[in-house]
A = this chain, B = another copy of it.
Amino acid sequence: MKTLSSIHQISVRFNEVDSLGIVWHGHYISYFEEAREDFGKQFGISYLDIKKEGYAVPIVKTATEHLLPLKYGDVMTVETTFANSRAAKIIFNYTIKNELGEIVCKGETIQVFTTIESGEMMLINPDFFKDWKQKHNLLDG
């Protein structure tokens, strides 16, 4: 099965580290978001693309696993992979590596579709998302 993934680089900011120079764990949720949005821009499924279709995609689950610290000045590489699924969900997996190529953090986010008009959650995939999957040969997922 085809998988779709993007690579995005992020530099650690000075205010993201504590006094020991280590990135605070909560910032990884931002890194995931930053990388996910970059994926979205590359493959036409960004926040704005989805909004234009009349949907919001709120996060319903996140998971992070921390293996190594990042320090101030480090440049990380985030690989964002679309995890195909039959459910009416958008699932992304993330792998963050440091400059040595070592895995620093792994994670997952799950989003659902809600209509902007009524706020209701979709139980089946919206048409635009099916079209998007088809375009990227992901329909059997």
The interface of chain A, by Cβ under 8 A from chain B, is 11, 13-15, 18-20, 22, 24-26, 29-30, 33-34, 37, 58-67, 69, 72
Contact = CB atoms under 8 A, between A and B. Distances in A.
25 contacts: A11-B11, A13-B34, A14-B30, A14-B33, A15-B24, A15-B26, A15-B30, A15-B33, A19-B19, A19-B20, A22-B58, A25-B29, A25-B59, A25-B62, A26-B26, A26-B30, A37-B72, A59-B66, A60-B66, A60-B67, A61-B64, A61-B65, A62-B62, A62-B63, A62-B64
A33 B19 CA distance: 14
A102 B17 CA distance: 30
A66 B109 CA distance: 11
Contact of A26 (B29, B66, B67, B69): B29
A21 to B, nearest CB: 9
A49 to B, nearest CB: 14
